[in-house]
């Protein structure tokens, strides 16, 4: 251990830009992870979403535009346009304790919806990572048309 500390004390001054870059990357990684843990919702893979639907009877909400929803959505998903998405709605208030999975075309809009659900007091919130594109890539079933 003494040899390691001796070499480290020689390495740091000789390679200061490298050490500073490493420290900056480490701090950025830690900040990103802390923010991810504190956001209150989880990113879910298509396999995780399937498990949540089958085992935990998760509510699936698709916040895609109507045209995207009609072109293809996860079977059993309920469509709510992001402009009309209201986590405080009385129907949603009844399911605050059960898992809610939010999805959209790419996964970006669903992250905003998931954040709104967490702020409204929902306990088990998930966003489909990669959206319907990831669902299709996993070769999972897709329903077309209206609800």
pLDDT value of residue 36: 60
In a domain, 143, yes or no: no
- Token look-up 């251990």 returns 1
Q: Please indicate whether residue 103 is annotated as part of the active site.
A: no
Percent of the chain scored above 70 by pLDDT? 96
The answer to whether residue 116 scores a pLDDT higher than 80 is yes
Mean pLDDT confidence for 126-142: 95
pLDDT value of residue 3: 85
Tell me how far apart the alpha carbons of residues 46 and 43 are, in angstroms, rounded to a whole number.
10
The answer to whether residue 105 scores a pLDDT higher than 80 is yes
pLDDT value of residue 138: 95
A 10 A CB-CB count for 63 gives 28
The answer to whether residue 114 scores a pLDDT higher than 70 is yes
Tell me how far apart the alpha carbons of residues 102 and 128 are, in angstroms, rounded to a whole number.
6
Same domain, 21 and 84: no
Domain of 108 in residue numbering reads as 41-137
Out of 77, 80, 104, 134, the active site residue is 104
In a domain, 144, yes or no: no
């Amino acid at each position: 251990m003494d040899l390691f500390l001796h070499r480290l004390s020689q390495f740091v001054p000789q390679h200061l830009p490298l050490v500073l870059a490493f420290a900056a990357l480490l701090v950025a990684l830690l900040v990103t992870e802390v923010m991810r843990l504190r956001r209150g919702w989880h990113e879910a893979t298509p396999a995780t979403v399937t498990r949540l639907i089958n085992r935990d009877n998760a509510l699936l909400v698709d916040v895609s535009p109507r045209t995207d929803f009609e072109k293809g959505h996860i079977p059993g998903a309920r469509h709510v346009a992001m402009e009309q998405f209201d986590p405080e709605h009385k129907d949603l208030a009844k399911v605050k304790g059960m898992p809610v999975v939010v999805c959209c075309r790419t996964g970006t809009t669903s992250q905003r919806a998931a954040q709104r659900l967490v702020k409204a007091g929902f306990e088990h919130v998930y966003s489909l990572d990669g959206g319907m594109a990831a669902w299709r890539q996993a070769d999972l079933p897709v329903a077309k048309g209206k609800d």
